[in-house]
Copies of this chain bind each other. A is one copy, B any other.
């Protein structure tokens, strides 16, 4: 049978382990960049701690999302792959699936709501994926996605509620802890929880004493509330400029974060914009609002991090240069 390949295929709904993350690192190594760790004296002074910025905005497609997408796409067996990959994404995950599929030479179908950011849509199209439009409501996204899956027989690569994707995202922290082994804490943005789940599994497995924090806009605090109330909250309406941080935790990421995350910190919109601007001014890096939320969380709560060595995941740098948040009113 075609599904019984020589290599055991990871199940999309299993909780990934450190070994899965190591497998993912080996699988994506021919395609993904090893991103650098950046430092800034002046940001260290400002924060009162040692900041080690993992520069995932320098990853291919300009965001960590390429890691998970590449692991999912290159983890498919040949028969699955031939039927293509289907995903829903308004942003970086769509571009990541599009590029990974182009590199493997298979079709990609990306279900995209009308409201998606122009720059991210253009990237998806540039990589040769088929864009399938849908309404913004999650129900319509799911309806259209199911329809494309049925039409194509393709494999679903969910943006975060997928073990292969989570394992791929975890490779960023696997790398970070090779580059800077003695971190006291690591902090990553949280939306659907794929990045933070992979971060937590990698960090806690390699360095049990490390603290792992999520950072989430206060205006989209569903992950924080889900962990606090110990139930998955999916009916909150996000109101943040962070277009990459508007999803809710998934059925797979919620239990992982419940077990391994030490807290989700909640900077407000002004703090996120200020942190983004500081990253541009001091680190000279183009970081999107979603990518600045972790630094914003640290600067909001300096006592928690004082004197510590902190890994900060700069998750993406795809921003519309004609609509910078300090120059235009946020929508």
Contact = CB atoms under 8 A, between A and B. Distances in A.
Q: How many copies does the complex hold?
A: 2
Contacts of A1: none
A36 interface: yes
A312 B50 CA distance: 31
A322 interface: yes
A284 B62 contact: yes
Given A36-B36, A327-B327, A281 B57 contact: no
Nearest to A288: B284
Contacts of A60: 41
Contacts of A287: 284
Contacts of A58: 284
A57 B284 contact: yes
Contacts of A326: 321-322
Contacts of A324: 321, 324, 327
A157 to B, nearest CB: 23
A287 to B, nearest CB: 8
A277 interface: yes
A226 interface: no
Interface of A: 36, 41, 57-58, 60, 62, 277, 280-281, 284-287, 317, 321-322, 324, 326-327
13 contacts: A36-B36, A58-B284, A62-B284, A281-B286, A284-B287, A285-B285, A285-B286, A286-B286, A321-B324, A321-B326, A322-B327, A324-B324, A327-B327
